[in-house]
Every structure is written in C-alpha cells, then in structure tokens.
Amino acid sequence: MLLTHAGGSPQIDPTAFVAPNAMVCGDVRIGPGSRIMYGAQVIAESGTIEIGRNVIVMENAVLRSSLTHPLSIGDHCLIGPQAHVVGCTVEDEVFIATGAAVFHGARLGRGSEVRIHAVVHIRSVVAPGEFVPIGWVAVGSPAAILPPQAHDQIWAQQESLNFPLTVYGLDRGEASMPAITQRLSRQLGSHQPPPDSTPP
C-alpha cells in the first residue's frame, strides 16, 4: 500500500518491488532493484526516507523517519525480518540482521553488520567493517560494543546521549509517560483523516 502523508508521496523506481501488503507512507524514495517484502512498514513521519539501489527489506521490518531524524539507506544493504531501523544513516553494503534495532541519529559505516537482536543506540557510530555481535549493544561515538549484561557500562555511555530528548524532544526531567504519549498522540494524529463533512 502506498500512502501520501504530510504532503509527501512515495517515489518508487520502476524496477523496484513493493509487496502488496507492505506499507510505504510519505516522502519515501526507493531506488532501482530494491525489494520491500511482505508486511514491511516504511513510514516517513514528516521527514524523508531514502533507500538506495538493490536494498532488500525483509518481511515485517519497520523503517521510520521523523522531521528531525531522516532515514538514509545506501546501496546493496539487507535489512532482516522484524528489524527496526529509525532516523539513522546506513551506508552502502550494510547487513542488519533479524530483530536488530538501529535508533535515531546512529550511523552504520560501509560494510558494517548488526547481527541478530543486536542494538545500535541513538547517536552511536559503528565504524566501516565493524560488527555488533548477536544480542550485543553498540553505544557512543565511536561506539563501544558491549554485551547486554554490561548494563552499568552501557548506561555510562547512554546517559549523556539523552534518549528522551533525542527521540521525543523532551529533556529527561520532563519525559514522563503522560508527556511522551501526549506529544506522540499530537504528532501521529496527522495520520487521522479529517472528519467527514458530508451530511448523513
């Protein structure tokens, strides 16, 4: 399904493929030979998504952007099933495995790998050719690559990156769940169609 949103419409190269039950919404550009497979969601929330040449987005992956965090994916990348890739820069020839997550402002260098269920945190930079092992966490710039049980080390890197401010636009002291959900409700309300003005 292709949807216009916030004044932007998908632009898909004629040699690309979007599965019938995939969703491509907003200002999304998909390059030659790319494949958006079944159940994938590619959603530009007032920002842009650029997908290069021969990019494979597997089943049920979620790709998102926002006004402050566009998403750019280079050529010859593979994004595995159920991966979550949002508002970041993915250079050429990157592999993002099943269930991996790459967050706002991150950068994956050319030829890097984010393996199964690994995480690249906000504003973290994975060097070209580097890999994040299965289930591990990359955090910081340059990224420290840490096992999930190293919570204190991860938090020492993560705290200064200020996840609530980067992702929700709310400083940590203001980022209560009511404040976050009210802000997201306003932003995501742009998807709601206007009330039908036709009389019954």
- Interval 150-162: pLDDT, tens: 999 998 888 888 8
Residue 199, CA distances (Å) to 33, 143, 193, 195, 196 in order: 47, 58, 16, 11, 8
- Evaluate if residue 197 carries a pLDDT over 50: no
Q: Which domains does the chain have, with CATH numbers?
A: 2-165 (2.160.10.10), 166-193 (no CATH)
pLDDT at 32: 97
Higher-confidence residue of 129 and 168: namely: 129
> Tell me, what amino acid is at 54?
N
Residue 94 backbone phi and psi in degrees, to 5: -95, 140
* Amino acid sitting at position 37: M
| pLDDT tens column, 114-163 | 999 999 999 999 999 999 999 999 999 999 999 999 999 998 888 888 88
- The Cβ of residue 173 has, within 10 Å, a number of other Cβ atoms equal to 7
- Is the preceding omega at residue 10 within 30 degrees of 0, hence cis? no
The band of 69, judged by pLDDT with boundaries at 50, 70 and 90, is very high
Question: Could you tell me the pLDDT band of residue 198, with boundaries at 50, 70 and 90?
Answer: low
Six-digit token string for 196: 């039908």
Mean pLDDT of 177-191: 87
Task: Please give the backbone phi and psi of residue 195, each rounded to the nearest 5 degrees, phi first.
Answer: -60, 140
